[in-house]
Amino acid sequence: HDDVGVGRPRDATPDAAADDDLRAELTSLLGRADADVIMRSVHRPHAITKTMTTVLGDTTLDPALQAKVDQGISDLIDYVGLCERIAKTPIPVQLTQLTAKALCTWLLFLPSALLGLGLGFSHVLLGSTLVG
């Protein structure tokens, strides 16, 4: 379908330096093999939670504590899914334009408000900008 009139969020792909930092941190925590699996995966949050579950299964914890940690991992997966849905939600262009207008108007009259100059018309102008 045609996405005219709908803004998409910028792709949040990390740069090479961030990848190197992440690889170094994962290697220090999990070892080279698990770090390589995570870095090669298409969906890194899923790969990390899968690794966490595997590590949890390999440990000998008290069953109650293991259940709490497992519930924490399950909650983490749910929260990552919520964040991804928010990030993938398209933003209408009209909303972006209205926000930009309101912000510019507010910033235009901010110095006068900080100096204590009572510019009554600024409220009217800001209100009309917010209405459209």
- What are 91's strand-pairing partners? 7
pTM greater than 0.75 (yes/no): no
Running DSSP on this structure, what letter comes out for residue 4? T
pLDDT digits (tens, 9 = 90+) for 6-51: 444 444 555 667 778 888 888 888 888 888 888 888 888 888 888 8
- What spatial distance separates the first Cα and last Cα of the chain, rounded to whole Å? 28
More confident residue, 100 or 116: 100
Please report which residue ranges of 1-132 form alpha helices under DSSP H: 16-30, 32-40, 44-58, 63-88, 93-114, 120-131
